[in-house]
Structure 1
Amino acid sequence: MGTIVDINGNPIQQEILHEPQTARIATLPTEYANHPSRGLTPYRLAQILEEAERGNLQAQADLFADMEEKDAHIFSEISKRKNAILTIPWKIEPPENATPAEKDDAAWLTEIMTQVSGFSNCLLALMDGIGYGYSNVEMEWGMIEKQWIPAALHHRPASWFRLAQFNQDELRLRDSSPLGAELIPMGWIKHVHRAKSGYIARCGLHRVLAWPYLFKNFAIRDLAELLEIYGIPIRLGTYPTGTGEKEKATLLRAVTEIGHAAAGIIPEGMKIEFEQAARGTHDPHLAMSDWAERSVSKAVLGGTLTSQADGKSSTNALGTVHNEVRHDLRDSDAKQVAATIGRDLFYSLLALNRPNANPRRLPLLVFDTSEKEDFTTFATALPNLVDVGTPVPVSWVQKKLGIPAPLKDEPILVRMPGTSAANIKGKALGLSAFAALSARNQQTSADTQAVTLEQEAAEAWQAVVSHIESLVNEADSLPALQATLLNAYAGLPLEDLQAVMAQGFAAALVAGMYEVKAGR
C-alpha cells in the first residue's frame, strides 16, 4: 500500500490501524464521574460553565450526564430527538455528475456499511452531540478479505476530552500531558453538533437546559420539605416543674417515636399535645416545576404540544404545527451527522481500500427525510393534471407516494374485473396501456391487457346500454322494439368503444413485439 494521507492531505502512519489511540491511556477507562449535580447552586453552575469555556470540559460533561439520569423529563425529550435518526431510511449516493469510478465507490460503500457491526449504535452515539456539543466515536480497524474495515465502533464518554489551549474548536484527548493528545486521523469519527452557534464548549443544548434543571430541583426539594412539614403535625411534650433529667429524656423519646409508631408511654403528670402545622400550598412549587419542563420541551423539540398537553390551549392544529418544527430539527440533525460520517468514515474507508480518494468528491450519506404525500389527495388531483396535458413523470409520483418502482417480472396490483371504473377519466385510461408498457414493462400478459381493456371500455359500454334502455322504455310492444333497435343500430354511440378497441389492438401489438424481442 502506498502513502496514505488524511482528509487534509497529511501522511499518516499505518501503525495507528493496529491499535486504538485510547488503548495507550490507562487512566481514562478507570476514571469515575464526579457527579457535580450534588448540592448544585447557581454559583457552582456558573463556575462549571465558565471552566468549560476555558478548556476544561470534564465537569460540564459529568453534569450533563447527571442531568439526563436524574431528570426524567430531560431524558424523555432528548431521547425523542436522538432516536429520531434511527427511524429515517438512509442510502449512499455518488456526488453530482459522478464518474463511473465514483458511482462504483458509492456502491462499494453501500455494501460495506451494511456489514459494519454497530453502525446504528454509532449514529445514536453521534446524536449525543446535540446535548454535549460534541460526540466522538473511536474506530477499531481490522483486516477482512484484504480490506480495512471498522471491526468495532466505540463511543467514548464526553468527559474524556478537553479543548486545545489556543483553539476552542479543537478537541483533544485527556492524557497525562498538560495540553492533551491530538486525535489521530482515521482513528475517530469526530462529530461537533451545532444545536446553537458558538464554540464547542457552548454549542451544546444541555447548557440551555442546565438552568431549568437547577430551578426545578429547587422547586422539587422545597415541595418535599413542605409535604414533610405539612403532613406530620408538631408534637409538644409538657412536664411539671421540678422534673428530673431522666424523666425529661423519657418524654422526649416518647414524643419522637410516637409520630412513627402511633403509640407510646409517658410518666404520670406529663402530657403530649399535637399542634397543627403551618398551612401552606404546593401550587407555587408545581408552577415552577411546570415552567422548567415546558422550557426544556421548547428548547429540545421546538414546542410543547408534542410532549405535554394541558387540555386547555392544546389543539390538534397546534400540535401539527409543533410536530412540523420537530421535523425541521430532525432534518437538521440528520444533515449534520451525515456530513461527519462522510468526512471521517467514508473518506477513511476509501483512502485505505480504494485508489485516488478525493475529499471533495466523496459519496454522500443521504437520509430520506421527505414526507410522503396523502394518497387520497393525489388520487383526486393527479388525473386532472394528466387531463390538461401536464407531463407528470412516473418516477416523481412514485417518490412522492413512497412507492418503489417494480422490479423486472415482479407482480403488480391491477384493478380486478367487474370493479367500478366510473371515477376513472376516459382520456387517462386511453393512455394507460402505453404508459404501463413504457414505464414499467410489466403489463404484457393477455390477462392484464384484458383487464385494462375492460376498464377502458366500461364507460363506452355503459353509454350503449343506456341508449338501448331508453329505447326499451319508449317501445309499446316487442315487435315495435325490434324494429326500433334495427333502425337505431347505425345511431348507437359506438365511437368511444371503437376507439378503445383500436387502442387495445395497438397495445396488444406493442406487447407482442416486446415479448418477441425479450425472448419470452
Structure 2
Amino acid sequence: MLEPLKFLLHVPLLKMGLPARNGLARVAAWSFMFKSFSMRDWAQFLEIYGMPMRLGKYGPGSSSDDRAVLLAAVRNLGRDAAAIVPMGMEIELVEAKGFSDKPFEGNVRFIDEQIAKLVIGKPGDGTASSKAGEETLDKVRIDIKRADARDAALTMMQQLIRPLVDLNFGPQKAYPKVHLPLPERKDLQVWSNAVGQMVDRGLEVEQSQIYDVLGLKEPAAGAKLMKVPSADAAGGKPKPPPQVPVEKAGAVSPWRLDPRICPSCGPARLAADDPAADLDEVDELVAEALEGWQPDMTPIVAAIRAAADEADSYEAFQAAIDRLGAGLPVQRLARRLAKLGMIGRGLGDAGVE
C-alpha cells in the first residue's frame, strides 16, 4: 500500500472493470497463444513434410549388421548429405506431394495483422496504402494522444495540484487546472511556401518564429553557418556581367545596353546597340519622356497621400478618391503625354524606327 501524498499513481481511463482487461493485454494474449500453437504445428509440419523422406532399401538376404549400416547412412544423409552403403542396397529420397503449409502461414499472418491493428490501427504488412487512409489513421492517433494527455492532466490535478494547494493554503473553491498541449504537425513544405509568398508581398515575420516551427536554434555568434554556395564555389558557370549603360548613350538614353550583354542576338541587334552609332529621334524622345516625369506626378501623388492620411478606414479612403475624381492636378502630365504622343506619331509616319 502506497503512502498517501507521497506518490503519484496514474491509471488511464481505458475500460471499466478489472485492470487486466484494460488496454491490449487481454486481446493480445489470445492472439499470442493462437500464434504460438500455429507456429508449433507449422514447425512439426515442416519437419515431416518439408524435407524429402530418406528411404533405404535392402535385399532379402541382408544381415542385421547390413541393415544397421543402411540405417546409419540414411540418418547421416539428413545431416551431412553424404553416406556410403554396401553394394546391393539403395537409398531413395521420396518427396512429399499433395501437402501444403498455406493454412499455417495464413493463420500466422492473420494473427500478426490483427495485433498490428490493435497497436497501430492498420495491418502492419508493409504494403502501401492510400493517402486518405493514412490521414485518417493519423487523426485517430492524434485523438488518442489528446485523450491520454487529458487523463494525465486529470491525475496531476487530483494527486499533485490539489494536495499542494490544500497543504499550503487550505481547501479552496477553485483549484488550478493543468493542460498538456500537443504540438500540431505541419506540412513544412506547404507552410514554407505560404510564408515565403507572404514575405515577398511585404509581410513582416519574426525570424525566431521560423526557427521554432522548423525546430532549429538561432545561430550563435561566431558559429559556422551554412549558406547557398556561389557559382564559383559550386564549380558552375559565372554569372553574366551586369547590364552597364554605354558611356555615350548614358546621358541621353540609359537603356541602350552594351552589345556584349547580348552576344547571340544577331548582327541587327549588335548594329542597333553599337555605342558608336548616333542615337536616333526615337531614342531621344524616350529619354526626354523619362527625364522629367517626377514634377508632373508630384501633385497627383501628394493629393492621394493627403486623402489616405485623412481617411480612417478603407471605405473613407475610397470615398475620398471618388470625390477627387477629375479634380486631380493632371493637366501638366496630360499636356506632356499629348506632346510626346504627337511627336511619336509624327516620327512613326515619317518612317523612323
Give me the TM-score of the superposition, normalised by structure 1: 0.37
Q: CA deviation at 1:200?
A: 2.1
Q: How does 1:64-463 map to 2 (within 5 A)?
A: 182-304=1-123, 307-311=124-128, 314-346=129-161, 355-356=168-169, 358=171, 363-371=176-184, 375=191
Indicate the residue corresponding to 2:235 in structure 1.
none
- Note the alpha carbon deviations across 1:423-457, whole angstroms, 9 max, x for none: xxxxxxxxxxxxxxxxxxxxxxxxxxxxxxxxxxx
Q: CA deviation at 1:331?
A: 1.7
Indicate the residue corresponding to 2:299 in structure 1.
490
Q: d(CA) in 2 for partners of 1:246 and 1:360?
A: 97
Q: CA deviation at 1:202?
A: 1.8
Q: d(CA) in 1 for partners of 2:102 and 2:305?
A: 76
Could you tell me which amino acid in structure 1 is paired with residue 106 of structure 2?
A: A
Cα distance change of structure 1 residues 294 and 497 upon mapping to structure 2, 3 Å threshold? farther
Could you tell me which amino acid in structure 2 is paired with residue 201 of structure 1?
A: A
Q: CA deviation at 1:357?
A: 5.5
Larger-Rg structure: 2
Could you tell me which amino acid in structure 2 is paired with residue 284 of structure 1?
A: P
Asked whether the equivalents of residues 237 and 255 of structure 1 are also in contact (C-alpha less than 8 Å), the reply is yes
> Alignment length, in residue pairs?
233
The gaps in structure 1 that reach 5 residues or longer are 1-181, 384-397, 405-472, 504-520
Could you tell me which amino acid in structure 1 is paired with residue 22 of structure 2?
A: C
Q: d(CA) in 1 for partners of 2:89 and 2:286?
A: 121
Cα distance change of structure 1 residues 329 and 476 upon mapping to structure 2, 3 Å threshold? same
- Note the alpha carbon deviations across 1:314-364, whole angstroms, 9 max, x for none: 11221111111111112222222333344335556667xx52354875544
Q: d(CA) in 2 for partners of 1:219 and 1:315?
A: 32
Asked whether the equivalents of residues 258 and 264 of structure 1 are also in contact (C-alpha less than 8 Å), the reply is yes
- Where 2:13 maps in the other structure, the secondary structure is coil
Asked whether the equivalents of residues 372 and 402 of structure 1 are also in contact (C-alpha less than 8 Å), the reply is no
Cα distance change of structure 1 residues 195 and 484 upon mapping to structure 2, 3 Å threshold? closer
- Note the alpha carbon deviations across 1:365-388, whole angstroms, 9 max, x for none: 4322252566469759999xxxxx
Could you tell me which amino acid in structure 1 is paired with residue 146 of structure 2?
A: D
Could you tell me which amino acid in structure 2 is paired with residue 245 of structure 1?
A: S
Q: d(CA) in 2 for partners of 1:380 and 1:257?
A: 74
Asked whether the equivalents of residues 191 and 337 of structure 1 are also in contact (C-alpha less than 8 Å), the reply is yes
Q: d(CA) in 1 for partners of 2:65 and 2:78?
A: 21
Q: d(CA) in 1 for partners of 2:91 and 2:157?
A: 76
Indicate the residue corresponding to 1:167 in structure 2.
none
Asked whether the equivalents of residues 209 and 296 of structure 1 are also in contact (C-alpha less than 8 Å), the reply is yes
Q: d(CA) in 2 for partners of 1:231 and 1:339?
A: 57
Q: d(CA) in 1 for partners of 2:28 and 2:172?
A: 37
Q: d(CA) in 1 for partners of 2:290 and 2:6?
A: 92
Asked whether the equivalents of residues 195 and 204 of structure 1 are also in contact (C-alpha less than 8 Å), the reply is yes
Could you tell me which amino acid in structure 2 is paired with residue 225 of structure 1?
A: Q
- Where 2:86 maps in the other structure, the secondary structure is coil
Task: Indicate the structure whose relative CO is greater, using CA pairs within 8 Å and at least 6 residues apart.
Answer: 1
Q: d(CA) in 1 for partners of 2:185 and 2:68?
A: 77
Q: CA deviation at 1:189?
A: 2.9
Cα distance change of structure 1 residues 364 and 292 upon mapping to structure 2, 3 Å threshold? farther
Cα distance change of structure 1 residues 215 and 478 upon mapping to structure 2, 3 Å threshold? closer
Q: d(CA) in 2 for partners of 1:337 and 1:484?
A: 70
- Where 1:237 maps in the other structure, the secondary structure is strand
Q: d(CA) in 2 for partners of 1:361 and 1:377?
A: 46
Cα distance change of structure 1 residues 476 and 308 upon mapping to structure 2, 3 Å threshold? same
Cα distance change of structure 1 residues 238 and 350 upon mapping to structure 2, 3 Å threshold? farther
- Where 1:190 maps in the other structure, the secondary structure is coil
- Where 1:272 maps in the other structure, the secondary structure is strand
The gaps in structure 2 that reach 5 residues or longer are 200-208, 216-281, 313-353
Q: d(CA) in 1 for partners of 2:172 and 2:107?
A: 51
Cα distance change of structure 1 residues 478 and 368 upon mapping to structure 2, 3 Å threshold? closer
Q: d(CA) in 1 for partners of 2:289 and 2:86?
A: 125
Could you tell me which amino acid in structure 2 is paired with residue 206 of structure 1?
A: A
Indicate the residue corresponding to 1:426 in structure 2.
none
Give me the TM-score of the superposition, normalised by structure 2: 0.52
Q: CA deviation at 1:308?
A: 4.3
Q: d(CA) in 1 for partners of 2:133 and 2:109?
A: 19
Q: d(CA) in 1 for partners of 2:12 and 2:49?
A: 47
Q: CA deviation at 1:233?
A: 0.9
| C-alpha RMSD over aligned residues | 4.4
Indicate the residue corresponding to 1:458 in structure 2.
none
Could you tell me which amino acid in structure 2 is paired with residue 367 of structure 1?
A: L
Asked whether the equivalents of residues 347 and 357 of structure 1 are also in contact (C-alpha less than 8 Å), the reply is no
Could you tell me which amino acid in structure 1 is paired with residue 137 of structure 2?
A: H
Q: d(CA) in 2 for partners of 1:188 and 1:486?
A: 81
